[in-house]
Structure 1
Amino acid sequence: MSRFNLALRLLWRDSRSGELTILVLALIIAVTSSTAISVFADRLQRTMTEQTADFLAADLVITSPELQPANWLAKAKELKLDNAQTTEFSSVLIENDEMLLASIKAVSKAYPLRGYLKVTGSDYLQEQTVHQGPKLGSAWVEKRVLSALKLKLGDALTVGEKKLIVSQILTYETDKQGDFYSFSPRVMMNDADLHATGIIQPGSHVHYFFQYRGDSKALLEFNRWLKPQLNPSQRILDIHNDRPELGSALSRAERYLGLSSIVVILISGVAIAMATRRYTERHFNATAILRCLGIKQSEILWLYGCQFMFLGLVASSIGCLLGWIAQQGLFYLLRSLLPQQGANPSWLAVFFGFIIGIAVLLAFALPPLLRLKQVSPLRVLRRELEPLPTSAWLVYGLALAIIGLLLERYTHDLKMTATILGVGLITLVLLGLLVYGILKLAAKLLPQMSLIWRFGLQGILRNTQASVSQILAFSITLVAMVLSFTVRTDLIDNWEKQLPENAANHFALNIFPEQQTAFQQDMLKNGIQHSQFYPVIKGRLVEINNTPVQQVVSKDSQGDNATHRELSLTWSKSLPEENKITGGEWWQNAQPGLVSVEQKLADSLKIKLHDQLTFTVGSQQIKATVASIRVLDWDTMKPNFYMVFSPGTLDAYPSTFMTSFYLPQTQKNVLNTLVKKYPATTILEVDVILKQFKSILTQLTQAINYLLYFSLLAGFTVLFAAVYATLDYRIQEGAIIRTLGAKRSFLTKIHLIEFGLLGLIAGLITVVISEVLIYSLYSKVMHIDYSPNYYLWLIIPIIGSLCVGLAGYSGIRHVVNQSPVSILRELSS
């Protein structure tokens, strides 16, 4: 206890003298930033996850061609889960001598469990948000049903043998999703009226959706209990697999939020390391005195370690509190963009922020502290006797280890972790050697420079190793901020490119081959922009290299879902739009018997180039050799296929065509003309899906913008920590120069030149590192098109020079005002 009391007394003395101000500030900002981002990202991701449940209308949804077993309902009741059910099927409606193929949806009383529906009356303007479906005896229809069947609100609509009163126009359906071949204008009814329609008979093609809502633990237990009972035709819906255009955006945004967290932690860690280095250097003399009084090396380490651990606990607690307040402020600022019901903050995320503070403190502060252990008692007599530097592997190893662990924790992606650490570390080492060489060459320019520039440059060259460390520290800070800003901007631009204003919002399916040319001409006549027409055949993958696919696929994987249903097979002479070859080559000649496989499905099924795949189409089998592996862009809302065959492979089988097209709201009546002329064709409207998708992107974009400010705040702490790290030396140097007759303005100018040059070199290094890391991230991890940022080569060096120069000036401006006599007396004593 006596040693602990001594540690606290020394800590109290240092705090009163201002020794720990920068260190504490850097640590608080680090913990505040990491806690705020940790809690905010956790809340945002859980809010988005909860909101994505709205796209399924429940927390858990199971699709099945059969009615729900009684034991499922019993188990759900036992676990206190709310449940609902919807039934979907297609039916031809006939009214007023008009005919329309419609998608009928019968919903139970509790539907929707999540999300909401929107309806409107005869004025078409005032939408109402409702949380229950149609009442008994009534039906809600999409607007196109009324115009196609010449109906109006209040008229009777016959579904099978049951007459229903059209009471509302359905404008928004929270869970409009599923198989493209089942979509057509929606008619929603109460499932209590379903039996009276007489439509569903044994053998009818019907999709049942069983929906559940409840506590997460109960849902997890129900999920585990249910999975073993599912047959191949039943499966659990998932937002990432069943809505890939949404799942892909959320996954990419989650990655960026994790990357933003690492950026702030890395920048703050650099500030802590610099502040701790100055602290230890100022305690060399005090430590030497303690050594003379008989304190051992291990006790020295324990003494300062206790101080820093206590300091870390206090600063981390303050940082956690401020981080909590900061994330509440973020949610308040974004209240108009975020969902009304945001997820509650997680105490686990706050605790994780606290742990990050302690871990970052140890990783970045421990190596400089270890130098105090090496202080010799002889330093009392010989002030120039410096302790040996800590070994490089420990200095960089601890920091690298903590950053690597945090990277993996935030991104859950070893590939991204290895890419950032590996490429970044190699680049840093090479650039460190390059900076060292540049400084050595710059020394030869000193004789040709004016006096002010000579003194400014000598300030950098006097301690080349320290200057290289400072330049790399500034570079890491600038790289982190540039990376955060650039990735954010390119990520948003990439999303906007994938979903421009005229992005396809309709799909035309089941177009007969003999009607394809006429259908295309009608679209051109009406000025409708469309994508390529793709022939489609339904088939099932059954064997890989003569091995049944069920023996290869992993349960609940993407491949498992794909092999338990029929796939849409197509063929094409040219590579489809938005597809990229990652393995093999696209066929040049029309050679039958070849197939190109989507990469994620190939990885899941362990399919490689030149493997032989067997498919069943109807009652027949066909074999094809894998010629290439493709990457698809699911975000574009264009037709995409897991399997694309070479021309001539599927010619013997009957097919239909599909395409996607953009149709503005003012031309919606064109759909009725097309449906009447081509009654077998199904038109799928995805306007609502696009609207929901863009809403999520808007929310995430605004959140990412605010996360960038934490990186900037942490970056400024590095600048000031670097200035104060050399403050003692600059005070002594300034006193000597002033004693020799230099004016204050001369001293100010050489400091500005020195820091400006440091910032300029750091800016140039930043551009090189940023381009290398961005290229690696885009091409290897995020799969975003890379293009060099030429404007960075001009802007970043200037910004670096100005920021570092101003920070240096603001930090040491009082140096020129100190009396040279008092400083020299202090040195002589």
Structure 2
Amino acid sequence: MRSKQLVSLALKQSRSDLRTFEWRALLLALLLATTLATFLTLLGNQLEQGLSRQSASVLGADLSLSDSKPVSEDQLFIADALNLQYTHVIQFSSMLSTEEQILLSSIRAVEAPYPLRGELRTDPPQATPVPLPGTAWAEQQLLQRMGVEVGTTISLGYSSFKITAAIISSPDRGNGFRSFSPQLLINRQDLEATKVVQPGSRIGYRTLFSGTESQIRKYADQLNKALTPQQRLWSVYADQPMAAGALKNASNFLRMTSLFGLLLCGLLITLSLRRYSSVQYRRSALLKCLGLKPKQVLHLYLIKLIFGWSLAAILGSLISIILLQLTGSLLQTILPAGLPAPDYRLALIGPLLSLALLLVIGFSPLLQISRIPVMGLLRRDQLSHQGLSWPARLVILFLTGVVIALYLGSIINALVAILLTVATILVAGLFASLFLPPAGRFFARYSRLGRLLGFRIRQQRQWHRIQLGIMSLLLALLSSLLLSQTELVDRWREQIPKDTPNQFVINIQPWELEPLSDFLQQAGLSPNLYPMIRGRITRINDQLPAEVLTPEQLQHNSLKRELNLSWAAEAPQHNQVIAGTWWHPETPDNLISIEQELAESLGLKLGDTVGFEIAGQKLNATVRNIRQVEWRSFRPNFYVIFSPKAMAQYPQTYITSFKLTGEQAALSRELLKQFPALTLIDVSQWIDQASELITRLIQASTLVLGLTLCAGLLLVQLLLYQELEQRRHENALLQVLGSTPRQTRQLDLLEFALLGFASGAMAAVLAEIMTGLISFQLLELPLILHPVIWVLLPLTGCAIFTLGTLISRRRSGYQQLQQS
């Protein structure tokens, strides 16, 4: 038969197969696979880009380069070559004054365009992106502490500025403690006239850059190779504080959701192909009887699959794009900073992915169809297919892993997915053999339906093994996805708990401790006060750092600057000692506690000695323990804590933090009035921005989770419908032999309820394993057990399968047997 005739025959058979449930089920499986893969790809890309944009709105740019002097022309030349947009910011601390008040404030001198990402919101709204010359915009905290309003004139150095707007929220607050002080925004043109910037002044120069992700990453790589010790690079794609971990977890969750959606589609295509191929054996034998060769039969069915895929690809792509448009308004409320336009080039991924899965998974069933002998027309035992050899199975598994790896961009995730799927099918098949026959014998003792159930279990044992494997994996995927998202949300929320301090007080002198404590206690606050002094690491094990550390270790920021040091008789409650023990409060030895990341970066271990230069004096101390510090807790934290007597001879100041509610806003002004020498740092706006970002992450992940769960439940329903179609002829035959329609319906319900219970029990085991792997490897969360799923999943599986059977079951009877 010629190729043209083969294509024509494939087209005719495809049209005629539309009347069969198996072909329609396969087309629906392909349609769901294409739609789900395309939609999750487009949506995931939009959310990742949108969340990065939301993070950039906190930074004010895609990349920020800070320095103690203006950026060099060479670095700007590279930015120009990459077509990056940039703007310059000068930030410093200075005193502001009115006729009645003075206040230490952080001044930002900016130029248009500013900011490059995010939005600077003011009240009243301003028509210009930056203040006009001679005017300034002030934060609400500054206005409150100075007791002034919009329209007031304030003095900065030798210049006066009229406050024309209050800053409601602002990106790009800078870094360091100066970034948390109440801020005033002025035009860079006015800076020289103030004469506050003089030689020797502590000035922060910051250059903001924006561009595409590839441009920013390329520029960051070039800058990192030539950064000076004073320069610091912040990137929205790398190490932005707070947002980095949250965005990394969000991106991993989106990819994990895509992986689970991909596995769901693969499971459905696998089962649909297996069902379709099983009913095509007799037709294959007939085609061979009419003269077709096995190779031509293989090509014929391959062409039919291509036809089916083409139809599913077109419809699935259109449906996914429509769904993306329908969810657009919801996504805009989730990410007010806006979403980028969908990259419709990615819409090809879904159809190509479903095609790859179809060809890889369909290779085995098509090969089995082509091997059916002509004698299958006369002898039913000849219709049994021959299994593939182990090398062929390994090739199929390898190709499936390649498809998944290309889609996810991760070989490890693809390998884990394949291994879990294969292991699940094998273990679930063993579990079905051990659990279902005894359950059938148990029901047989009490009712005639139980005996029929036992007979059906023996008759369908091969299918039950496959069904239990697929259905338990399906339930495990859905439950582990739900558990992981719940734990991820809890972890995000824990980053900024309700009692997170939003006020820091520094430069507290020893004689101010008692009156300050009394003042705070009267206000209903009970913060801890921590001693603090600055020092620099100079030696490690009595050697210079350059003599014992690698070039990479020498680049650690702790060796380039002074560290905030403290001392304590007892371990801080919000730090966890992970190695060693804490010292006795009265120990005379010079002992230190080192933060975990610093110890790992410098290769420090228990018993090592570290030399410090503190207030011009040398001091050696021994590492007694290593602590785990949560830097995002907004509590005073330190890289190094000394034993108390080691620091007795050094001058000391104190630091504390506490939370003020909106009703206590006036307390900060009263605090500075009674203790004018203190420095009060308000971080509430930064916390609000970080909280908003985390809220958006939670909403976005919940949306993706809901869509995936809906797709999973739809797949469960389709699987049940497929199985019930296989029971129609059997139920009709039972009715011919005397069973009533009610009894056959009860038999179906009993079988699938039992199968659902067994699937749920198996899924509980798998969900614990999957959740552990996801939490530990992908989301970097602690491992915990979930005893509740051991009860809920079997009951949920039983309920879902029972309800699905009631919905999907079609009327079966003698008439259907006659019509067949």
Shift of 1:139: 2.3
Q: Flag the 1:470–1:392 CA change in 2: closer, same or farther, 3 A.
A: farther
- Residue 428 of structure 1 deviates from its aligned partner by 6.2
Residue 307 of structure 1: aligned partner: 304
Of residues 488, 491, 494, the one that matches 1:494 is: 491
Aligned-residue offset at 1:384: 1.9
Deviations 1:150-197 (A, max 9, x none): 544444322122222233333322222411355322222222121122
1:537 aligns with one of 533, 540, 547: 533
Question: How far apart in 1 are the matches of 2:406 and 2:535?
Answer: 39
Give runs of aligned pairs for residues 244-643 of structure 1, distance below 5 A: 244-293=241-290, 295-385=292-382, 386-391=384-389, 398=396, 402=400, 406=404, 410=408, 414=412, 429-528=426-525, 530=527, 532-541=528-537, 546=543, 548=545, 560-580=556-576, 584-587=579-582, 589=584, 595-600=592-597, 615-617=612-614, 619=616, 630-643=627-640
779-788 or 340-349: bigger deviation: 779-788
SS for the counterpart of 1:244 is coil
Equivalent AA in structure 1 for residue 795 of structure 2: I
In structure 2, the CA distance between the partners of 1:242 and 1:224, relative to structure 1 (3 Å rule), is closer
Alignment partner, residue 38 of structure 1:
41
Q: Which moved more, 1:769-778 or 1:250-259?
A: 769-778
Q: Counterpart of 1:58 in 2: which secondary structure?
A: coil
Cα displacement string for residues 674-702 of structure 1 (whole angstroms, at most 9, x for unaligned residues): 22333343222222222222222332323
The match for 1:55 is 58
Report the CA distance shift for 1:264/1:81 in structure 2 as closer, same or farther (over 3 A): closer
Q: Relative to structure 1, is the Cα distance of residues 674 and 760 closer, same or farther in structure 2, using a 3 angstrom cutoff?
A: same
One of 667, 671, 674 as aligned partner of 1:670 = 667
Q: CA deviation at 1:587?
A: 2.8
Relative to structure 1, the CA distance from residue 700 to residue 97 in structure 2 (aligned partners, 3 Å threshold; closer, same or farther) is: closer
Provide the rounded CA distance (Å) in 1 between the counterparts of 2:603 and 2:424.
34
- CA distance in 1 between counterparts of 2:236 and 2:179 reads 19
Secondary structure at the aligned position of 2:298 is classed as helix
- Structure-2 change in CA distance of 1:503 and 1:13 (3 Å): same
Aligned to 1:658: 655
Matches within 5 A, 1:809-820: 809-816=806-813, 818-820=815-817
CA shift, 1:24, in A, is 1.2
Distance (whole Å) between structure 2 residues aligned to residue 403 and residue 250 of structure 1: 27
Change in Cα spacing, 1:643 to 1:453, as seen in structure 2 (3 Å) is farther
Conserved? CA contact 2:92–2:178, under 8 Å: no
> Bigger shift: 797-806 or 233-242?
233-242
Displacement of 1:594 in angstroms is: 5.3
Instruction: Give the 5 Å matches for 1:49-128.
Output: 49-77=52-80, 79-96=82-99, 98-120=101-123, 127-128=124-125
- Report the AA paired with residue 351 of structure 1: L
Mapped to 2, the partners of 1:294 and 1:445 lie a distance apart of: 52
The residue type equivalent to 2:529 in the other structure is F
- Closer/same/farther in 2, CA of residues 820 and 155 from structure 1, 3 Å limit: closer
CA offsets per residue over residues 541-590 of structure 1, 9 Å max, x none?
566665746995677x9964554444434444544445445x53343546
Cα shift at 1:798: 2.8
Instruction: Judge conservation of contact 1:540–1:566 (CA < 8 Å) in 2.
Output: yes
Structure 1 residue runs of 5 or longer lacking an equivalent are 121-126, 824-829
Please say which of residues 155-164 and 185-194 is displaced more in the overlay: 155-164
The residue type equivalent to 1:807 in the other structure is G
Could you tell me how far 1:260 is from its partner in structure 2? Answer: 1.4
Equivalent residue number for residue 826 of structure 1? none
Q: 2:773, 2:746 → 1: CA distance?
A: 40
CA contact (8 A) 1:31 1:353 kept: yes
In structure 1, the partner of 2:801 is: 804
Please report how far the alpha carbon of residue 233 of structure 1 lies from its aligned counterpart in structure 2 after TM superposition.
1.0
What letter is aligned with 2:579?
A: G
2:29 equivalent to 1:26 = yes
More deviation in 426-435 or 77-86?
A: 426-435
1:420 CA displacement: 6.5
Q: Report the more deviating stretch, 751-760 or 62-71.
A: 62-71
The alpha-carbon deviation at position 264 of structure 1 amounts to 1.5
8 Å contact kept, 1:498–1:635: yes
* SS of aligned partner of 1:584: strand
Q: Which whole-Å CA distance do the structure 1 matches of 2:411 and 2:128 have between them?
A: 39
Instruction: Indicate the larger mover: 320-329 or 726-735.
Output: 726-735
User: 1:275, 1:724 within 8 Å by CA — same for their partners in 2?
Assistant: no
Tell me the distance in 2 between the aligned counterparts of 1:585 and 1:408: 45
Judge conservation of contact 2:475–2:763 (CA < 8 Å) in 1: yes
Moved more, 316-325 or 222-231: 222-231
Q: Does 1:166 align with 2:163?
A: yes
Q: CA deviation at 1:313?
A: 3.9
Distance in 1 separating the partners of 2:713 and 2:350:
21
When residues 443 and 627 of structure 1 are mapped into structure 2, their CA distance, relative to the original with a 3 A threshold, is farther
SS at match of 2:66: strand
CA shift for structure 1 position 710: 2.9
Q: Secondary structure at the match of 2:749?
A: helix
Contact between 1:262 and 1:407, CA under 8 Å: does it hold in 2? no
Structure 1 residue 23: Cα displacement: 0.9
- Percent same amino acid among aligned pairs? 28
Distance (Å, rounded) in 1 between the aligned partners of 2:525 and 2:759: 53
Query: Following the alignment from structure 2 to structure 1, what is the Cα–Cα distance between the partners of residues 91 and 759?
Result: 62
Whether the 8 Å CA contact 1:764–1:797 is kept in 2: the answer is yes
Mapping 1:600-749, distance limit 5 Å: 600=597, 615-617=612-614, 619=616, 630-645=627-642, 648=645, 653-723=650-720, 725-726=722-723, 729-749=726-746
Q: Deviations over 1:603-654 (max 9, x none)?
A: 5556666666555546555555655555444443333444455555555544
Contact 1:297 1:374 in 2 (8 A): yes
- Whole-angstrom distance in 2 between the partners of 1:765 and 1:756: 14
- TM-score w.r.t. the length of structure 1 is 0.88
Change (3 A) 1:783 1:640: farther
Higher alpha-carbon deviation: 416-425 or 255-264:
416-425
CA deviation string 1:318-359 (max 9, x = no partner): 322222221222222333232253111113432333332223
Moved more, 171-180 or 357-366: 357-366
Q: What secondary structure sits across from 2:670 in the alignment?
A: helix
- Structure 1 residue 292 displacement after superposition: 4.3
CA contact (8 A) 1:274 1:721 kept: no
- In the superposition, relative to structure 1, how do residues 630 and 180 fare at CA in structure 2: closer, same or farther (>3 Å)? same
Write the letter of the residue equivalent to 2:520: M
Which range moves more in the overlay, 567-576 or 372-381? 567-576
Secondary structure of 1:112's aligned partner: coil
> Over aligned residues, Cα RMSD in angstroms?
3.5
Structure 1 residue 65: deviation in Å? 0.3
1:247 is aligned with what amino acid? A
> Counterpart of 1:123?
none
Q: Name the SS of the counterpart of 1:668 in structure 2.
A: helix
The CA distance in 2 between the partners of 1:573 and 1:412, in whole Å, is 48
- Larger deviation, residues 479-488 vs 774-783: 774-783
Task: Give, in angstroms, the shift of residue 35 of structure 1.
Answer: 1.2
Contact 1:570–1:643 (CA<8 Å) still a contact in 2? yes
Say if 1:117 and 1:129, in contact at 8 Å, map to a contact too. no
Counterparts of 2:613 and 2:130 in 1: how far apart (Å)?
A: 40
Given residue 110 of structure 2, which amino acid in structure 1 is its aligned partner?
A: V
Residues 64 and 234 in structure 2, CA contact (< 8 A), matched pair in contact too: yes
Amino acid at match of 1:40: L
